[in-house]
Amino acid sequence: MRYDTKETILVTGAAGFIGSHLVERLRLRRERLLCLDNFDPYYAKELKEQNLRQALDGDDSCFVEGDIRDRALLERLFSRHEITTVIHLAARPGVRASIENPLPYFDINVSGTLALLETGRAFGLRKFIFASSSSVYGENGGAPANEESTACHPLSPYGASKVAAEIACETYSRLCDMTTISVRPFTVYGPRQRPDMAIGRFTKLISEGREVTIYGNGDALRDFTFISDIVSGVEAALTIRLDGYRVFNLGRGEPVSVLQAVRLIEEELKAKAMLRFLPAQIGDPLVTRADISKARASLGYQPTVSIHEGIAQYVRWFREGTNPTLSGVVRTIG
């Protein structure tokens, strides 16, 4: 059963990779959106401004620059706008960076999530959709990760912070009449992805004739999932009526090796990669593989973009490139 969401949807992390694509999709549905982002310096603000410019398509009236940990800001937004749903994508990303500097991950990913949940509870929020991560699973021997039967044993502070935030979401679903949904994306890639992510990093280095570093022997399997499929999963979580606390994997369930992904990029670029193999890094599981049967049954989730098609789309986007004027692309409202 589907229902229309005519009230305001607050999207946090709206200028990021997944956030900007989701905003674009929801604007096509003519949803009433309030977009929040603090332009965290994990990567260049200019790239996020460019994402936002494309997502908002010239209409900057629904954007607020601010931090999810700022309770006064959140209370002001909830009091001024009829926010009935939060799609919470804002987070400090990066598995390896979290091992080197874990404290910001718990501050932003856990405390920030709690601030949103608590503000939502005070204002009668109906639905809270949280972007978790496949990193919550850790290493499980290569079997498809299942939401109900696969235990969460994260290998990094980043993954641990997502587990903690998921538990907070479940707790608030019990405390108040709020549906909370955690979605666990698997190795998302596509246009606008962060520059430190594998597909984008490999493509740039190969195109420039520079050395490509691979940790391990290249046989590690990743459940690469194209951005449009992830957005479709989040959109389904928004539009389908669900109660209580739910958790869903969003992946393809068809992992490929890192080396195979490199070879596909080589084919699209018509260039040869100069590979350098280094020891596997701590925090990286050997295999990520999603069991998507629950999302398929409950959300109608069905990924459609193969790794071949997805990399072809990404390389086309990479080759086209855009250099819009970035100054003054957004104004903020409170």
Distances (CA, A) of 210 to 60, 135, 251, 274, 314: 38, 29, 30, 7, 19
- Confirm if 303 and 251 have CB atoms less than 8 A apart: yes
Q: Which residue from 281, 294, 323 is spatially nearest to 94, judged by alpha carbons?
A: 281
Q: Can you name the residues that pair with 181 across neighbouring β-strands? A: 129, 246
- Confirm if 200 and 189 have CB atoms less than 8 A apart: yes
Catalytically active residues, by annotation: 158
Contacts of 174 (CB under 8 A, 6+ apart): 245
Contacts of 273 (CB under 8 A, 6+ apart): 202, 205, 206, 212, 262, 265, 266
Pairing mode, strands 32-37 and 188-189:
unpaired
